[in-house]
Structures are given as C-alpha cells and as structure tokens.
Chain A
Amino acid sequence: MNEFVERLVDLRWPDHVRPSYDVVIIGGGGHGLATAYYLATRHGITNVAVIEKGYIGSGNSGRNTTIIRANYGIPEAVRFYQHSLEMYGQLEQETGRDLMHATKGLLWIAHSEAGVRQERARAEINTAFGSRTEYVDVKTISEICPQLDMTGQGVWPIYGASYHPAGASARHDRVVWAYAEGAMRLGVHVHQRTTVTGFLRDGDRVTGVQTTAGPIGGGLVVSAVGGHVTTLASMVGLRLPIRTHQLQAFVTNRYAQAFGPIVASSGLGVYVSQTAKGEMLVGAEVDRAPAYAYDSGHSFLRSCAFRSIALLPFLRDLRVLRQWTGVCDMSTDYSPVMGFTGVPNLLVTTGWGTWGFKAIPAGGEQMAALIATGRTPPLIAPFALERFANDRTMADRGSAGTH
C-alpha cells in the first residue's frame, strides 16, 4: 500500500490480532472485503477478521478486467447480477469514494445465425427478468461502435448483437480499498501478509484457522479465496466443483479517439474496452489447462491480437503496453458457489470464474445476510453448493466464457 493510496483512503490497520473473532474471512479481495463491509454496515457485526496472505486486492481482484454487466443466460443469474449492477451504481455515493464507475453499454456480437439466435435469446431472457438488453441490427451496431469492421476482415462478419446499455466498468483497486476502508472504520480487522495454513477443528466443526500469525478462533469461517480454494477445502476433506484456469489480458498504448462501449465476441473469444486513461484493454477466454501460474505467453498475444484486430482494425496501429495473467476458479456449471459447505461453521464464496468483479457488491451483501441470519437469502439460494448433489445445476456457459 503506497503513500498515494494512504492519502486516497483512510485505512485503519489493526495493531494486534485477537485470539478469536465472530467471523473470520479468508481472502482480502473484493468478495472477502465486501462481505466484511456489509456485515459491519448492514448487520452491526464488527468483530470480524479478514486474513489476506499478500496485500488487499493483490490476488485476482487486482488482475481482472473490471467489467460490470448483468446480461446472463439464466433467470437466477440475471436477477443476481442485475442487483449487483444496481449496487455498483450506488457504491460511490454509499462509500463516498470515486470508484471511476462509468456506464458504457456492452455489445455482444454474433458472427453466425446460431450466434444471432443466442443473442436474441439473451435479450429476451434479460429483459424478462429485469435487466434490459435489446437485440440490435448491423446498422445500429455501427452507430454504437463505428470502429467495428462489419465484415470481420472477411472471415468473422457481424450479423447482429445484443446490446446491454447498463454495461459498465469501475476501477478494481478503488473498489477493494473502498470496501476495506468502510469495514475497518467500523472496527473490522484486516490482517495483511498473513497466510492461512490450516483449520482449527472440534470434531467436524471448524472453529478457526491456523495462520502464519498463530491460531485465530472464528465463530464462523468464510473462504473468499480466489485460486486456492480447492486446496483449502481439501484440508477439511471438502470436494468442490472448481478448477482453476489462467486468463490473460493486455492493454495497448493510448488510443486517441474515445471508444464508447465494451465489445465482446464469443465467436472470437475476445472482449475489448477502453480504460479511463484511453488504453485499449483486451481480454480472452481462459486457457484450457488448469494452472495457478501467473506467467504470460507470447502466443496468447499473437492469437488474441489477431482476433481482436478482426473486429477492430484500428488496434493494428497500437502497441502492447503490458500483459498480465490472473487465475479464475471455473465451476463445473459456470455459475458461482455461495453459502454452506456441509462442513459445520465453514462457508464459501467461490466459483467466481471470469465473472467475479461484477458480483462483488451483491456477493458480499448476500453472504453477509447469510452469515448474520443463518439463512440463505433467496437471491443466492440457487447457487448453493448442494445444487450439484440435488441435480439443480445452474448451467450458464454461454454467458460466462469470457468476461
């Protein structure tokens, strides 16, 4: 945490570790900190610790591509992400911090008749369940985004798109800091550079965590870990429907014109937006082989640049400024996993795949409500881990493949 950030937010770090807390949250990323924030602000539960092995936001909250949207493919997901999107809209006012939230609109492009059917279906289901998305034709697409090559370099012609006007983005680390600030102001302890190495047990029950700072008791323990949740769960014999995959992204140097919307293509497996600094941000699909490494590859740059140029030829004249890799916990049905685990006193919020950033407000709020009341709120009940044993999977691959 550098001086600039210290001035930007008022982070009140704890000077000691208590022997135990009512709630111990593992993982100081967006989801962990938002859960702590809503526990403190909505439920008055402040005897809470967030345990972070690096610094807050240093994991995958700091590596994502910050897109906020609610145009999912199943009703349960549309409702949940729409609620999160609306919460994001209020978050600057609520936290009093500039999160660089900007509504941009999102075009999801179809390159085939099958793609057109999918985007039409998306528009219908989104609108029916409270998140406006409309199907737009080629003429409207060029008006929304004149830079698009409608022929797709002759190989990926644009047939149509779904347009999600509420699609937005925000600055990822500011979101993390705002939640941390709000939680700590009310007395939540955030312990950085503290690694959880195991669980404290009493029979089946989880009673706390073993850490590099010693044992810490917890009335409830919540894993909000990105990337290592299956390893953590295996310490209590818990099996999760999660595989961890790398996702690579890059930004270019500044593009002189304003580039309005977020543009996504499942067919090409890329999505493109412009950052507040004017850089073009390009992300891809996850790599197929599960991995935890943060290494980046030249072949990714080559293939991703090739595909994004097919959509937006002006990218050809830009230069790659930096490239990075995050890891995504992909659930078997491409939907998140939130709530009870079957292991007494252990909760998880995971399976955030490539769609975790947009879910931070609602995920945190709903997990906090679950912790405070002991009951699963209806909004996230469909995303319980037990859905896999009950044949109630939330299959939504078509919405989750990229961004």
Chain B
Amino acid sequence: MTVRRLRIQCPHCGVRAIEEFLHGEIPTIPERVVDPDARDLDRAFMHTNAEGLVTERWFHAMGCRRWLTLTRDTRTNDIPERTTSYPPS
C-alpha cells in the first residue's frame, strides 16, 4: 500500500492539495475517427482512457475558482508541476 499526498501547483494560488480541485474532462476523440456519425458516437460515449500521460483540466474550487490545464500520469497520479498552466487564451 502506498499512501501519498497529491498536490497541484496553481499558477495563481501556489501549491495546494489535490482535494482543493475538481477534475474536469479529458477530451479524447482520436484523429482517425473521421466519419461524422462515428465522431458523434465517440464524443457522446467512448473514451481513450489512456494508461499514461493525459492532459486534462482541473478547477481550483477552493482557491481562485479558475480552470487550469495540467499533465498527469494515470498509472501513478504523478503531476509534473512545471506543466501546469492556465488554458491558452
């Protein structure tokens, strides 16, 4: 059993425990799904469910209440701090 404390670096508020944040979606429609019906089906129901690095949104619910974008490894929950950023404007 590994017990760890997961943290996210908020660009505005600083380093905070992951429990201050809400998880957003991981958008994952593969490029190769080109047929419009297949894309709709995929968007509505299917998931890549990647084992490895995913780029995703988190909402700093207990701090600045802004969405940020970061990269997380779904195999370990590791978050390399330097990848954290606000979404591109």
Q: Do A and B bind each other?
A: yes
Query: Does A155 sit within 8 A of B, measured CB to CB?
Result: no
> A289 to B26, alpha carbons, bound, how many Å?
9
A residues 350-403 in Cβ contact with B at 8 Å: 388-389, 393
Q: Chain A: which residue is nearest B29 at the CB level?
A: A239
Interchain CB contact under 8 A, B45 and A332: yes
Residue of B nearest to A291 (CB): B74
Q: A244 in the interface, Cβ–Cβ < 8 Å?
A: yes
Q: B46 touching A239 by the CB < 8 A rule?
A: yes
**CB under 8 Å from chain B, chain A span 279-299:** 288-299
> Closest CB-CB distance, B42 to chain A, in whole Å?
6
Q: Given the complex, which residues of B lie within 8 Å of A290, measured CB to CB?
A: 26, 47, 49, 54, 74
Q: Does A324 contact B (CB under 8 A)?
A: yes
With A231-B51, A294-B2 known to touch, is A289 a contact of B23 (CB < 8 Å)?
A: yes
The one of A230, A289, A297, A298 that contacts B48, using a Cβ cutoff of 8 Å: A230
> Which chain B residues lie closer than 8 Å to A292 at the CB level?
51, 74-75
A241 touches B46 (CB 8 A): yes
Q: Is there an interface contact between A324 and B45, defined as CB atoms closer than 8 Å? A: no
Minimal beta-carbon separation of A290 from chain B (angstroms): 6
Count residues of chain B with CB under 8 A from any CB of chain A: 29
CB distance from B16 to the nearest CB of A (A): 12
**Contact check: which of B4, B49, B72 meets A295 at CB < 8 Å?**
B4
Interface mask (B8-26 → A, CB under 8 Å = 1, otherwise 0): 0000000001010011001
B residues in contact with A243, CB < 8 Å:
47, 49
B residues less than 8 Å from A296 (CB atoms): 1-3
Query: Chain A residues near B17 (CB, 8 Å)?
Result: 299
Contacts of B19 in A (CB 8 A): 299
Query: Shortest Cβ distance from A3 into chain B, in angstroms?
Result: 24
- Asked whether B1 lies within 8 Å of A240 as measured between CB atoms, the reply is no
A234 with B5: CB separation less than 8 A: no
Chain B residues near A388: list those with CB within 8 A.
41, 44-46
Chain A CB within 8 A of B89 CB: no
Interface-centre pick from A239, A243, A294, A298 (highest chain B CB count, 10 A): A239
* Chain A CB within 8 A of B55 CB: no
For this complex, into which size category does the number of interface residues on chain A fall?
20 to 34
Instruction: Determine the distance from Cα of A240 to Cα of B49 in the docked complex, in whole angstroms.
Output: 9
| Interface class of chain B by DSSP | loop
**Is B6 located at the chain interface by the 8 A CB criterion?**
yes
Partner of A298, one of B3, B45, B74: B3
Which residues of the partner chain B approach A228 to less than 8 Å between Cβ atoms? 51
How many Å from the CB of B24 to the closest CB on chain A?
9
Q: Say whether A297 contacts B3, CB under 8 Å.
A: yes
Query: B45 contacts which chain A residues (CB < 8 A)?
Result: 241, 332-333, 388, 393
Contacts of B83 in A (CB 8 A): none
User: Restricting to A188-243, which residues have a CB under 8 Å from any CB of B?
Assistant: 228, 230-231, 234, 239-243
B76–A293 touching, CB < 8 Å = yes
Q: With A295-B3, A296-B3, A389-B41 known to touch, is A242 a contact of B74 (CB < 8 Å)?
A: no
Tell me the B residues contacting A by CB distance below 8 Å. 1-6, 17, 19, 22-23, 26, 30, 33, 41-42, 44-49, 51, 54, 56, 72, 74-77
Please give me the 10 A-B residue pairs with the lowest Cβ-Cβ distance, nearest first.
A230-B49, A289-B23, A239-B46, A241-B45, A288-B23, A295-B2, A388-B45, A332-B45, A243-B47, A291-B74
Binding site for B on A (CB under 8 A): 228, 230-231, 234, 239-244, 288-299, 322-324, 332-333, 388-389, 393
- Since A293-B75, A322-B1, A333-B45 are in contact, a sample of 15 more A-B pairs with Cβ atoms closer than 8 Å, ordered by chain A residue number, is A239-B30, A243-B47, A243-B49, A244-B49, A289-B23, A290-B47, A290-B49, A293-B76, A296-B2, A296-B3, A297-B6, A299-B5, A323-B3, A332-B46, A388-B45
14 of the cross-chain contacts (CB-CB < 8 Å) are A241-B46, A289-B56, A290-B26, A290-B54, A290-B74, A293-B76, A295-B3, A296-B2, A299-B17, A299-B19, A332-B47, A333-B45, A388-B45, A393-B45
